[in-house]
Amino acid sequence: MKKLLVLIFLAAAGWFWLHEPEADWRGMPAAHDPVQTDARQPAFQQGDYTITSLADYHIKAVVLSRERYRNDRGATLAPVDLALGWGPMSTATVINDLKISQSGRWYEYSWSDEPPLDPDLIATHSANTHCLPATPEIRRQLLAVNRLDVVTLKGHLVEVAGPKGYRWRSSLSRTDTRGGACEVMWITGVDVTQAK
């Protein structure tokens, strides 16, 4: 009997761990497109890395997925990636009909039968964002973000240069896809709310 209870507990814990909660709000909690303007900050050092601002950037979006990184080369600068959706990609029914995942600094989505939204709109209203926190407090806030939170991020899209020719450059477009399409963001401000 004790073994059966342990198995039931493990199965329930596994389901809870792997099951993604469904979005349950009405409307678009992140209706507006990200705002990108000309960079105003000079390059600066962060440890062994030179960080050059390419554009000032402000985004309010729903967190479609989050992935923590500890062991790759970018992990000391960007401990977490957030897959973000805005406009029609912040709609609960659309999010619930997509299978969303992240790994290896990539963001992927798929659907079962018909796409819940025009695939071009999915691509142009969502993005994987490599999050580089400007302070320890912002790092703590970013690591506490969960799927389906609504985040407002302020900062800069950047290029990172490091030892041995290391380069990590942000996309400056919301319409690109594939390699190089992710945003590399130096984050100076974070606000987290629940979708309503």
Q: What is the pLDDT of residues 71-120, one digit of tens each?
A: 998 999 999 999 999 999 999 999 999 999 999 999 999 999 999 999 99
pLDDT tops 60 at residue 3 = no
Alpha helix ranges (H) inside the chain = 2-18, 92-96, 119-124, 136-143
Query: Domain segments of the chain: what residues?
Result: 25-194
**95 phi-psi bin (left φ>0, alpha ψ -120 to 50, beta other):** alpha
pLDDT tops 50 at residue 16 = no
- Contacts of 132-136 with CB under 8 Å at 24 or more apart are 132/51, 132/77, 132/78, 132/158, 132/160, 132/184, 132/185, 132/186, 132/187, 133/79, 133/187, 134/186, 134/187, 134/188
pLDDT band at 1; cut points 50, 70, 90: low
